[in-house]
Amino acid sequence: MDIASLTIGQIRKGLSRRSFSAVELAAAALGFAEAENPKTNAYLHFCPERALEAARRVDEKLARGEDPGALAGVPVAVKDVICTKGVRTTCGSRLLARYVPPYDATAVIRLEQAGGVILGKTNCDEFAMGSSTENSAFGPVRNPVAPERVPGGSSGGSAAAVAQGTAVVALGSDTGGSIRQPASFCGVVGVTPTYGRVSRSGLVAFASSLDHIGPFARNVRDVALLLKVIAGRDEMDSTSAFAPVPDYVALLDGQVRGMRVGLPREYFQGLASETGDLIARGIEVLQRLGCEVREISLPHTDYAIACYYIICTAEASSNLARYDGARYTLRAGGAETLIDMYRSTRGEGFGAECKRRIMLGTYVLSSGYYDAYYLKAQKVRTLVARDFSEAFQQVDAIITPVSPFPAFKLGEKLDDPLEMYLSDIYTITGSLAGIPCLSVPCGGTAAGLPVGMQILARHFDEAGMFRLAEAFERAGGVSG
Amino acid sequence: MKITEEQVRYVADLANLRLSEEEVRRFSTDLGQILAYMNKLNELDTSAVAPMAQVLYEAEETAVLREDRPRPVLGAEAALANAPVGGGGFFKVPRVIER
């Protein structure tokens, strides 16, 4: 058994043939992950007791001849912005370094009910704000493919764990690209589902109208299976959708002939780079598979970043107001008045990027600026979303790059926040529209750095998105 | 676009955020730069566009109100477990009411 390359299918076979027990697998996976973790800092902490207990339940079900669940025995990593009862959930922040949630996120409950084994919690940018995982209060994550480079962010720890083989699948969260961009940087598959597809109950809020929980895996089949397990209506999140969740894996039939695929011209202008060349080769593969490729236009693309960073910072400034020194573990010493306690706790607890976003969000919501910035951005969001609904009248899926460039060096972009924001251009538009998006590996640069191809689909058409991604993967991607 | 240090201090007060002098200087530059970029939205005429506060999609009517029935609650002890200072079933904070 090669732990670092296991698939869900291999685990199912191994358990049913009694080649290993779930407890044996959990113990081996924990040992491997703990030994390998210093190379990347992907995990912030492990939860061995919880993992072994979950594995024991799987073995008991197997012994009784019961169905142990779709994720039986599968080692899972969970981003540390997703609440785990009794297991620290720090959000990569000093402020929550000692926070132990009194409840589980719905996605966590569902994946454990399906037999999943949570090994530990993964590192991320503080409160999921960042594109490199360098904003973690607990040190950056190194990209397992190129240790001097970032894994992307903000779900960099989850992407790195799956790429490194210290988890078979992982949960991340995505507000403007925080699953897809690290998936592309680390060479794994990452999915941002339709807004409302997966309950946000237990996901620590950053920007509520944009936040998603989504899965990572090393192949499309596994990522689709994990999404099936965690998706669906949850009465703990009133924005979660009632739409039925299809059996995504059963629908992976490789049939993409005649599928209409759109290439937004605004995304490919001036993309003369290794990334552009690899995406172009990816598109050729789709054509060989029988997809009908055509150029489309998403005319408001150029306004998406300004729109997104107004909305997400406004929502963040409101969501992060709860960290006031009264309720969540950290309180600065010496405060004599309530206001003093708020201000010094927040001043000490938040890192630079969180402060910057709280400041921006407070500014755009403040009296005299609300209409000019926040309301204006909400109107532009309508235009960006409308671009997609018009495009999806002509095509079934849209193909774009995930990031303008592959993984960059640690520290390379830390000094220029605006430049870091601008690099989110390809992922932000889909987030604003709330459509499902996925990053699938699309070869590597001459230096061996992975590049991801993004597939976007209509609201709730994850099945079509997975079918296209899996056909691409089955054809060998760009090296096939 | 220029955001003065005085404006930064005003916004920091609204946000209940204590900033160092160095942070005030830094954010004065950063916010000015980022907000200047955001002014790009003014190129668009949005007078006839409705604002989007939430993702909307074609779907059946959804009953967002769940059934109102009793169920187990968290309980004061669990809810207070993360309090920096607590006791007697309360979050304790500096005195806000003068006797």
Condensed to tens digits (0 to 9), the pLDDT of residues A204-219 reads 999 999 999 999 999 9
Q: What is the pLDDT of residue B66?
A: 72
Boundaries of domain holding A30: 1-301+377-480
Nearest to B93 among A326, A358, A363 (CB): A326
How many residues in chain A?
A: 480
Percent of chain A with pLDDT over 70: 100
Looking at the fold, whether A412 and A479 belong to one and the same domain comes out as: yes
Looking at the fold, whether A122 and A58 belong to one and the same domain comes out as: yes
Of A339, A355, A372, which residue sits at a domain end?
A: A372
Distance of CA A433 to the CA centre of its chain: 17
Active site residue A154: yes
CB within 8 Å: A381 and B74 = no
Residue A183 has pLDDT above 80, yes or no: yes
- A229-232 CB contacts, 8 Å cutoff, 24+ apart: A229/A70, A229/A71, A229/A110, A229/A111, A229/A114, A229/A116, A230/A106, A230/A107, A230/A110, A230/A111, A230/A171, A230/A198, A230/A199, A231/A193, A231/A197, A231/A198, A232/A197, A232/A199
Q: Search chain B and give the residue with CA nearest A335.
A: B94
Looking at the fold, whether A141 and A124 belong to one and the same domain comes out as: yes
- Picking from A78, A69, A77, A76, the residue whose alpha carbon sits closest to that of residue A12 is A69
Q: Domain of A382: which CATH number?
A: 3.90.1300.10
User: Which stretch of A250-264, A306-320, B85-99 has the lowest confidence by average pLDDT?
Assistant: B85-99
Looking at the fold, whether A196 and A108 belong to one and the same domain comes out as: yes
Looking at the fold, whether A458 and A360 belong to one and the same domain comes out as: no
In this predicted model, what pLDDT tens digit does every residue of A130-144 receive, in sequence order? 999 999 999 999 999
What is the average pLDDT score of chain A?
96
Looking at the fold, whether A402 and A334 belong to one and the same domain comes out as: no
Q: What angle do CA B61, A427, A472 make, to 5 degrees?
A: 90
Q: Which candidate in A195, A362, A387 is best for mutational testing of the B interface (most B CBs within 10 A)?
A: A362
Looking at the fold, whether A384 and A296 belong to one and the same domain comes out as: yes
CB within 8 Å: A343 and B17 = yes
**Cα(B60)–Cα(B82) distance, rounded to whole angstroms?**
40
Residues of B with CB below 8 A from A328's CB?
Answer: 82, 84
Q: Do the beta carbons of residue A348 and residue A323 sit within 8 Å? A: no
Hey, how many other C-beta atoms are within 10 angstroms of the C-beta on A375?
16
**Cα(A304)–Cα(A10) distance, rounded to whole angstroms?**
42
Number of domains in chain A: 2
Catalytic residue among A154, A158, A199, A403: A154
Q: Which two tokens stand for residue A200?
A: 């946000």
The three-state secondary structure class of B87 is strand
In the block, which residue shows the tokens 């909400």?
A378
CB within 8 Å: B59 and A242 = yes
Q: Which two tokens stand for residue A367?
A: 């009296």
Looking at the fold, whether A276 and A341 belong to one and the same domain comes out as: no
Looking at the fold, whether A410 and A446 belong to one and the same domain comes out as: yes
- Asked whether the whole model's pTM tops 0.90, one would answer yes
Catalytic residue among A93, A131, A178, A184: A178
Looking at the fold, whether A411 and A478 belong to one and the same domain comes out as: yes
Of A344, A372, A400, which residue sits at a domain end?
A: A372
In the block, which residue shows the tokens 């994990």?
A226
Looking at the fold, whether A268 and A340 belong to one and the same domain comes out as: no
| Amino acid residing at A389 | S
DSSP state of A430: H
Query: A160: distance to nearest CA of chain B, Å?
Result: 30
Residues of A with CB below 8 A from B85's CB?
Answer: 331
Of A318, A351, A372, which residue sits at a domain end?
A: A372
Residues of A with CB below 8 A from B77's CB?
Answer: none
ipTM field: 0.94
Looking at the fold, whether A317 and A452 belong to one and the same domain comes out as: no
**Cα(A23)–Cα(A438) distance, rounded to whole angstroms?**
32
Residue A270 has pLDDT above 90, yes or no: no
Residues of B with CB below 8 A from A376's CB?
Answer: 41-42, 46
Active site residue A409: no
In this predicted model, what pLDDT tens digit does every residue of A220-257 receive, in sequence order? 999 999 999 999 999 899 899 989 999 999 999 999 99
Q: Domain B5-42: give its CATH architecture.
A: Orthogonal Bundle (1.10)
Q: What is the pLDDT of residue A157?
A: 98
